[in-house]
Amino acid sequence: LEKVVKEYQEIQKDFSKSVISRQQLESQKQENESIQQEFKELKDDAVIYKMIGPVLVKQDKADATQNVDKRLEYINGEIKRIEKIIKDLEEKQEKKKNEVA
CATH number for the region 2-100 comes to 1.10.287.370
Q: How far apart (Å, rounded) are the C-alpha atoms in residues 44 and 56?
A: 20
Q: Output the tens digit of pLDDT for each of the chain's 101 residues.
A: 788 889 999 999 999 999 999 999 999 999 999 999 999 999 999 999 999 999 999 999 999 999 999 999 999 999 999 999 999 999 999 998 888 77
* pTM exceeds cut of 0.75: yes
Q: Where are the domains of the chain?
A: 2-100
